[in-house]
Amino acid sequence: MIYFDNSATTKPYKEVLQTFLKVNEDYFANPSSIHALGGRVETLITKSRKQVASLLEIKETEVFFTSGGTESNNLALKGTALHYRNRGRHIITTVIEHPSIIETCEQLKELGFDITYLPVDSHGSVRVQDVLDALRDDTILVSIMHVNNEVGSIQPVEAIGKALKSYPKVIFHVDHIQGIGKVPLSFHEAGIDLCSISGHKIHGLKGTGMLYIKEGLKISPLLSGGEQERKIRSGTENTGGIVSFAKALRLHFEKSGKELEYIRKLNAYLRGKLNQIDGITIHSPAAGAAPHIVNFSVQDIRGEIFVHALEEFNIYVSTTSACSSKKNIPSRTLQGMGVNESLLDTSVRVSFSFENTKEEVDAFCSAIEKVKKNLEETTRRRK
């Protein structure tokens, strides 16, 4: 099997699975219980929080464990909107955000908030000046993803964050879900107030993740009913998930430190091979993009048909983001980039992990040519 859909989800590291199993076998007590076993479980969570904070170079008190990226994004946006609604009701984001941001903004719009969706350029990047020009007296939040999940374009979040330091009443949220471990980002240097991370994008488990909340910043909780996560996220902690998330983050950073250049070379190798195939248009920018994502179109072949055809070769890729692929609607990101309308429903996304190889890329490109030839012959026969 060739798995090139790592932006949708990654295969968990064996060590992560082993950790999850051991914690749930030996440390299954409720960490809020006052007995000794509960205390040992609470200690495990504390150690995990300390490890995550150390890896991200933030404070332990700034780590809030969640069920993943969607919850973290919802908590960041809704928690900010509810807490600061008396200060203002204007939120700024972009047209290429993940559905968990776009749909949250649309829900907030129904509650009386005003949303500004900023455009992007042909490379899929928002302009810093556009962010600043959109600011108003009632702006309370700017939410910009770090790495676009469809084409891999890197947003200038560091420059945006530094510019927003002149507007202390505006809170800055970054969706770092696709960037973590692939594109370096210092939360403090970039002036980030809130930052979302998902466990299953870094070879952790689904249902795990975190939200960074800068020390001193207050937001309203979405889940109430307990003291967990300092009242920001009530509910009995998923101890096995939390401990395995910390391990996945450590292992992912270790891999990144050793093999990130390898992923860059693999990306360049794929792009070179694709450029040799007739009818291929690459949408991911050649510069200013994350190393693990390549988005392209095969002329006159719908992305959905192409994805299923590749399954015959035991190769797995995707079209748009996994959260949007079943809706059968044109990519919002490609539309925002001004991609030709004829290519909007033909795009395919390849997303690497550190486990992928050049041999897999060769097999993939060979399969592309075979699928392309077969579909073209089928089309001619039908005519």
Q: For residue 363, count CB atoms less than 10 angstroms from its CB and return exposed for 0-12, middle for 13-18, buried for 19 or more.
A: middle
Q: Which among 223, 251, 279 is the end of a domain?
A: 251
Pairing of the two strands 90-94 and 280-282: unpaired
Residue numbers in the chain where pLDDT is lower than 70: 321-328, 378-383
CA dihedral sign of residues 26, 55, 75, 201: negative
C-alpha 53, offset from chain centre: 19
Supply the CATH number for residue 119's domain. Answer: 3.40.640.10
pLDDT one-digit tens code per residue, 284-315: 999 999 999 999 999 888 999 999 999 999 99
Give the max Cα distance, the chain: 75
Secondary structure (DSSP) of 61-115: GGEEEESSHHHHHHHHHHHHHHHTTTT--EEEEETT--HHHHHHHHHHHHTT-EE
- The residues that are catalytic are 323
8-state DSSP, 301: S
The phi, psi pair for 140, rounded to 5°, reads -115, -20
Whether residue 160 sits in one domain with residue 25? yes
Whether residue 328 sits in one domain with residue 228? no
Whether residue 232 sits in one domain with residue 295? no
Whether residue 132 sits in one domain with residue 184? yes
Q: What's the pLDDT at 48?
A: 97
Classified as helix, coil or strand, 116 is: strand
Q: What's the pLDDT at 70?
A: 97
The number of folded domains in the chain is 2
Q: What's the pLDDT at 322?
A: 47
Whether residue 244 sits in one domain with residue 291? no
Q: What's the pLDDT at 383?
A: 55
pLDDT one-digit tens code per residue, 126-167: 999 999 999 999 999 999 999 999 999 999 999 999 999 999
Residue range(s) defining the domain that contains residue 66: 14-251
Whether residue 229 sits in one domain with residue 188? yes
Q: What's the pLDDT at 366?
A: 96
Supply the CATH number for residue 292's domain. Answer: 3.90.1150.10
pLDDT one-digit tens code per residue, 154-207: 999 999 999 999 999 999 999 999 999 999 999 999 999 999 999 999 999 999
pTM across the whole model: 0.94
